[in-house]
């Protein structure tokens, strides 16, 4: 496809931003979304400098009307949406299960789960009526496939995204819409800095990772671009994990 139209939520930082830049370099038309107008406009300028047609639409994915507006503005500008990357996410309020509150639940699930569902809803609305369908990629995590202490809400929300993806993949398949997950392991972004909190903790994490390093946002962007492309034309309902080997097993005996 000459210039596919890509839509990315939570695109102003980290993995979302790296994916927007990668798609811009590849010549795509890029719709970036987030909650900060000024930063969004600056990103559009940066993507324009890379040669892309780009547009920012302000949207908080927790709110149906804002997601609806995002999708409608994208179609108004570019006529279609070929790839949607539902990247917006939050670590919410990590803490022990004994301290879970309704507010902490909402702080995590409203963005990660409700936001993914609302995005899917409006993306499907467009992709079902356009020729060629489309590709949706949802953002889960290694936290969506295994447990971590003091993270029940985030772990639960990221597991939910994998289940939602499988169900949506079955609905989308007859209409040419593929739905997959990218599941990064620890990746060098602001979220990783916040969750780990210090160089000492990051060093401890690195020491147990099989590759002894966290991933880079650009490495996740490559996986999104693969799932969004025709190279993955027969891939749907799947999770592509980028974790440097974390989930392959426990490196109890250090590799020689
Ligand atoms: N970094 C990792 O180790 C890692 C590992 C596995 C999965 N992930 C997932 O990867 C995705 C990207 O995270 P990241 O690592 O790049 O961290 P990040 O830099 O914190 O990016 C998250 C982005 O989502 C946006 N966002 C949060 N709540 C939103 C909402 N309600 N509506 C719209 N945008 C919202 C944030 O914008 P605001 O400034 O407005 O909050 C931010 O730009 C997330 O889904 C995360 O769970 C990250």
- Which of 13, 60, 116, 151 to mutate to test ligand 1, by most ligand atoms within 8 A of the CB atom? 13
CA 28 → CA 51, 92, 105, 173, 220, distances in Å? Answer: 9, 32, 36, 24, 17
The answer, yes or no, to whether any atom of ligand 1 lies below 6 A from the CB of 62, is yes
- Which of 8, 9, 14, 155 to mutate to test ligand 1, by most ligand atoms within 8 A of the CB atom? 14
Q: H-helix or E-strand containing 228?
A: helix 217-228
> How far is residue 6's CA from residue 9's CA, in Å, rounded to a whole number?
10
Q: Which domains does the chain have, with CATH numbers?
A: 5-187+217-241 (3.40.50.720)
**Does the pTM exceed 0.85?**
yes
What amino acid positions are annotated as catalytic residues?
154
The answer, yes or no, to whether any atom of ligand 1 lies below 6 A from the CB of 145, is no
Contact at 8 Å (CB) between 176 and 168? no
Mean pLDDT of 209-216: 95
Which residue owns the Cα nearest ligand 1 atom 7? 141
Residue 83 has pLDDT above 80, yes or no: yes
Q: Counting beta carbons within 10 angstroms of the beta carbon of residue 65, is it exposed (0 to 12), middle (13 to 18) or buried (19 or more)?
A: exposed
Residue 88 CA: nearest ligand 1 atom is 24
The answer, yes or no, to whether any atom of ligand 1 lies below 6 A from the CB of 139, is yes
User: How far does residue 86's CA lie from ligand 1's centre (Å)?
Assistant: 10
User: How far does residue 191's CA lie from ligand 1's centre (Å)?
Assistant: 7
Closest-CA residue to 92 (of 77, 109, 117) = 109
> How far is residue 139's CA from residue 42's CA, in Å, rounded to a whole number?
24
Contact at 8 Å (CB) between 62 and 88? no
Tell me the per-residue pLDDT of 116-154, one tens digit each, with 9 for 90 and over.
999 999 999 999 999 999 999 999 999 999 999 999 999
For helices 115-129 and 152-172, angle between their N-to-C axes, nearest 10 degrees: 10
Contact at 8 Å (CB) between 112 and 161? yes
Tell me the per-residue pLDDT of 222-255, one tens digit each, with 9 for 90 and over.
999 999 999 999 999 999 999 999 999 887 777 7
């Amino acid at each position: 496809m000459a210039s596919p139209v890509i839509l990315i939520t939570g695109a102003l930082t980290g993995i979302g931003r790296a994916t927007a830049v990668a798609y811009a370099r590849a010549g795509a038309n890029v719709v970036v979304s987030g909650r900060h107008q000024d930063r969004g406009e600056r990103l559009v300028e940066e993507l324009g400098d890379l040669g892309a047609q780009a547009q920012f639409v302000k949207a908080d994915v927790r709110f149906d009307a804002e997601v609806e507006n995002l999708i409608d503005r994208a179609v108004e500008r570019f006529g279609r949406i070929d790839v949607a990357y539902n990247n917006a996410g939050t670590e919410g309020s990590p803490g022990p299960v004994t301290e879970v509150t309704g507010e902490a639940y909402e702080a995590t699930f409203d963005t990660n789960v409700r936001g993914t569902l609302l995005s899917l809803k409006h993306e499907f609305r467009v992709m079902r009526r356009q020729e060629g369908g489309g590709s949706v990629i949802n953002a889960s995590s290694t936290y969506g496939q295994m447990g971590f202490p003091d993270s029940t809400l985030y772990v639960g929300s990221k597991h939910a995204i994998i289940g939602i993806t499988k169900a949506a993949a079955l609905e989308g398949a007859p209409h040419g819409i593929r739905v997959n997950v990218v599941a990064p392991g620890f990746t060098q972004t602001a979220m990783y800095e916040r969750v780990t909190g210090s160089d000492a903790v990051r060093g401890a994490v690195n020491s147990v990772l099989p590759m002894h390093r966290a991933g880079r946002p650009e490495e996740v962007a490559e996986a999104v671009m693969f799932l969004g492309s025709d190279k993955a034309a027969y891939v749907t309902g799947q999770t592509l994990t980028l974790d440097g080997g974390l989930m392959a097993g426990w490196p109890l005996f250090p590799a020689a």
